[in-house]
Amino acid sequence: MADNKQSANDGGRIPDVIGESVIRLDAREKAIGATQFADDFQFGPGLLYARILRSPHPHALIKKIDVSKAKALPGVKAIVTGDETPGFIGLYLQDRHIFCRDRARYVGDPVAGVAAVDEETAEKALELIEVEYEPLPGVFDPEFGVGPDAPLLHPDLGQYEVVNFVFPKPGTNISNHFKIRRGDADLAWAQCAAIVEKKYRVPHIQHVPIEPHVAVAKWDEGDNITLWGSSQSPFAQRNLIAKALGLSQSKIQVIAPVVGGGFGSKAGVSMEALAVVIAKAVKGRPVKLRLTREEEFFTTFVRQGLVAHFKMGCDKEGRLLAMENTYYWDAGAYTEYGVNMTRAGGYSGTGPYDVPNVKVDSICVYTNHPVGGPMRGFGMPELHSGLEQCVDDLAHHIGIDPVEFRQLNCIRGGDTVATGMTMHPIGLPECIDRVAKDIGWGKKSQPSAPNKRRGKGIAMMWKAPAMPPNAGSSAQITLSEDGTVTVALGGQEIGQGTFTVMAQMAAAALGVPYDWVKVATPVDTKYSPYEWQTVASRLTWSMGNAVVAAAKDARQQILDLAAEAWDEDPDNLDIVNGNVISYKTEESMPLKNMVIYGLPNPKGDGWIGKPVLGRGSFMPTYVTGLDAETGQGPRAVVHYTTGAQAVEVEVDMDTGRVEVLRAAAAFDMGKAINPEMVKAQMEGGLVQGISTALFEALKLKNGVVTNPSFVDYRIATTADVPHELFSEIVEVPQDDGPWGARGIGEHSMVPTIPAVANAIFDAVGIRMESPPYSSEKVYLAMMDAGIVK
């Protein structure tokens, strides 16, 4: 065997224990570049590279595709089109083919895919594919899209497979219409002392994770598929791709390493199925598809746009009497996810307020824009953006302080929400008080210069996990000979700290030190226990319940074994710091070895016990359906996380620049399993919310994204973080959560836009129809209002 020592001049490469292969791979590395060398080392020298030909039209019939010239290009191994993908794919609504067949519905819709020996060859092949299109009129505004003059984008809507809680309207561009009817809003208006009516828009934005979408697929001769992908939803990908291709789910293995940023963009299926279909054409060879940064902006999920109409009124004491809110969701060309966002926007359409008379229409509209999908907050940042500004205006109109108005009207435990569900105990009033105190509400601050004005704003929020009623979690606990613990689970780590929290829960429930516990990675659908998806801020609650159940299962097996060995009642035993102890006899025994080999039979013959394997699962079986016409039902959601944010801003009167100086966030997450991580989520979400309030928007012109790069699409940096940040933890336990915990990951981004908007209004007295509140937009609004000249 070769010497395994690393020489001084080998540049830190792989030790030469693998012999001559190092020399051969080094030579290949010089020829093809370091990136492809790394790919070859992981997936083998047979790895192919894929690129996608995309529609340049927002809406067009595909009349003809000629791939003959591209196929003749040296290095091209396969070309696929919609002919290979007759099936439909989608999570809640199956409304798209993996590759376009008869028509393209947005700029970027995948028309053909190429597999070649390298990306450069694949790109050249795309240029040789000839496609004949027949451009069609487009829909670029959701309000226009629901009208009679709009072209029909999905003529076959009535034939699509859809879940039973989504209500498409065949013959229209409406893929879901969710309604709430409570009390009688029409009669209530006459009783109102003050009424506010406003229209607000929220633009599309991009998630912009630092790591772009990337997937590697291999389809072997036995029709077994392995998919490696940066994914929040490995089990959902397995299921959806299998159904679309007519395969058994057991034929697909999805391996999902740690994700380099997701925020919802890597949930469900976006580009991963493309790689799988291309791999089918080159069986036995893995195919890698990596999106460019430009593609990332408009060919994967974007946060959908919203046009919202609000009407709300209160009595002379300031108590809300009625709301009538209509939401037109610009969900893009395909709405497999948009339909559920629309549903969430419907049942949460009043915001966290106690309102006796409610009329809400939440409408999902097909447009020829990029595909709307899940993003941090799942429709709640968009919904609250305008709603919380209207609440402020109503408070001012009736002459009540905005903080007092929210305290008077906010939802509390025991109240009946708009869907008829009884609200569980929450700490929203305390959240409001804390953020108001943190920023010195009611005290006017002096600006830093004569040409600047300061203002303070507040907003509150609620959000439920937007998921089907049967979204399940499962977990397994195994122990090694030395007593250390491995937790197997199917939820994904996307930077939110879920692996840390699951290890904490397992350690606490089992009775071992935290540093004895590790989480098995990567998530692999062939070996990992099932998890619906890493979305909806549900893992601490749902997967946490499964992990605790698995740990308790393992714990009980250990206690039963010790009880038999000691001839004791298991109820008198405990596991503390990795040792089984008896409160009756004060005996103690370490977990080492017994959890694998068992213990000697106290009767003298043989052994007792077995290798310990804990299993746990959880599903919220108590969520009920809602009436399609009224939205009423006993329990619409599993729970709500509530909270509030307050900010202080300074507006430059010469330039319109808005700077957030101080910001406070308070959320009731039931129980903070890891308080430092909770605070990090609250702070990170607030900064991301500031980014969407001040900077971010996809600029769309006739369906074309005109700013698909970081040159023209700005996101917040450390320079934009407020000088002072306050993060307040409020804990009112959830009855079905582990240690009372609820989620907090998405919620911290929800109220930021309206909090900033309300602070700008407090500073200079202007309202703008839509974020972002850029320097130019603010300055022009001040000019229109006659504040500056």
Q: Got the DSSP string for 554-622?
A: HHHHHHHHHHHHHT--GGGEEEETTEEEETTT--EEESTTHHHH-EE-TTSSSEE----EEEEEE--TT
The Cα 370–Cα 333 span in angstroms is 6
Please count the residues of the chain: 789
The Cα 266–Cα 289 span in angstroms is 14
Helix (H, G, I), strand (E, B) or coil at 3: coil
Beta strands in 293-391 (DSSP E): 305-314, 320-332, 357-366
Q: For residue 96, list its beta bridge partners.
A: 89
User: Which run of H or of E encompasses 763?
Assistant: helix 752-764
Report the Cα–Cα distance between both ends of the chain, in Å, rounded: 82
Look up residue 510 and give its amino acid.
L
Strands 194-202 and 103-104 come out as unpaired
CB 112 within 8 A of CB 101: no
Residue 741 sits at φ, ψ, to 5 deg, of -80, 145
What's the DSSP call for residue 636? Answer: S
Closest CA to 85 of 106, 112, 115: 112
The Cα 258–Cα 413 span in angstroms is 38
Closest CA to 681 of 231, 376, 358: 376
Rounded to the nearest angstrom, the gap between the alpha carbon of residue 204 and the centroid of all alpha carbons in its chain is: 15
628-651 b/e with 16+ CB inside 10 Å = b?
A: eeebbeebbbbbbbbbbbbbbbbb
Closest CA to 279 of 243, 248, 241: 241
Closest CA to 698 of 150, 52, 208: 208
746 in catalytic set: yes
What's the sign of the alpha-carbon dihedral 559, 565, 570, 574? negative
Closest CA to 310 of 201, 399, 237: 201
CB 242 within 8 A of CB 269: no
CB 516 within 8 A of CB 576: no
CB 550 within 8 A of CB 615: yes
CB 653 within 8 A of CB 452: yes
Opening angle at CA 619, ends 616 and 729, nearest 5: 90
SS3 content of the chain, % helix, strand, coil (to 5): 30, 25, 45
Closest CA to 653 of 562, 471, 785, 482: 785
Across the chain, which distance is largest between two alpha carbons, in Å?
97
Is the preceding omega at residue 522 within 30 degrees of 0, hence cis?
A: yes
CB 374 within 8 A of CB 381: no
Is the preceding omega at residue 620 within 30 degrees of 0, hence cis?
A: no
Q: Which of 29, 746, 769, 776 is catalytic?
A: 746
The Cα 490–Cα 395 span in angstroms is 46
Look up residue 597 and give its amino acid.
Y
CB 274 within 8 A of CB 52: yes
Helix (H, G, I), strand (E, B) or coil at 711: coil
Instruction: State how far the alpha carbon of 73 is from the alpha carbons of 53, 67, 78, 121, 275, in Å.
Output: 16, 10, 11, 8, 20
Q: Which residues are catalytic?
A: 746
